Amino acid sequence: MAGRMMRYAALAALLQPLALIACDRAPPAPAATATTATPTTGAAQAPRPAGPERLVLAFGDSLYAGYGLDRGQSLPDAIQARLRAAGVNATVVNAGVSGDTSAAGRQRLAFTLDNQARKPDLVLLGLGGNDVLRQISPAETRANMTAMLDELKRRDIPVMLTGMKAPPNLGADYVARFDSIWPDLARTYHGTLYPFILDGVIGDPALMQGDRVHPNAVGVAKIADRVAPLVKERLAD
C-alpha cells in the first residue's frame, strides 16, 4: 500500500503543470475520429490464429492512443499481440485520442461505433485521466461514463473498463468520489474492471516517459501483460 501511495504522490506532484497542458488542448470534434479508429499495426505482423475473428474496440485517451511511442507500440497493439500469441484471433482497433476527457469521449462514441466494419465483440473503455488532470467534478465524469455505458448497453456490446485514480493531494472527498466511479459502474453494468491502468508502472522511471505520466514501451508491455488475460477471459464469455 505504501508503494502505491508513493506512485500516486508522484502523479500528484505533476498535477498542476499537466493540468495547464491538458486545458490548452481542445477536445477533438467527433468527425475527427474516423481516421483514428484503425486496426493496430505492429501486432498485425504476428501470425493470425485460426477461428472466428474477435473485434475489440479500444476507446480511450492518450494512454490508448500511444502518446510519445513509435507506431506499433501502443497499448492496443500490445494487447492484440498477446491475444494472438494466446491463440485468440483478435483485431484490436485503436480509437484512442490524446487529450480526450470523458465528455469528449461521450461526444464521439456513437460516431466511432457507427463507423466500425461491424459491431465490436468487446469495447475497452479507458477515460478519466484528463478529467482528473483538469480537476473536473467527479459527478460530471460519472455522468459521462454512465452515458457511454448506456450507449454500449443499448447496442448490446460487452465492456471492459480500465480505471483511473485521483492523486491524494486533491483531498479525501474528491479522491473517494472519483475513485469509486469505475468499480461502481463495473458492478452496475456487469463489466470487467482493471481498477487502475497505470498500476505498477507510474512512479517507476524505467517504465515511464520523460513526462512521468505516460508509460514508455516497456511500461506499456507491463500493462498489457496484466490487461490482455482479462480481455481474453471476457472474449471467451
Annotated active-site residue in 62, 74, 98, 102: 62
- Our answer to whether residue 214 is catalytic in this structure is yes
- Our answer to whether residue 98 is catalytic in this structure is no
Q: What's the grid cell of residue 175?
A: 479522491
Annotated active-site residue in 70, 137, 180, 211: 211
Contacts of 120 (CB under 8 A, 6+ apart): 55, 56, 57, 93, 113, 157
What are the residue numbers of the active site? Answer: 62, 211, 214
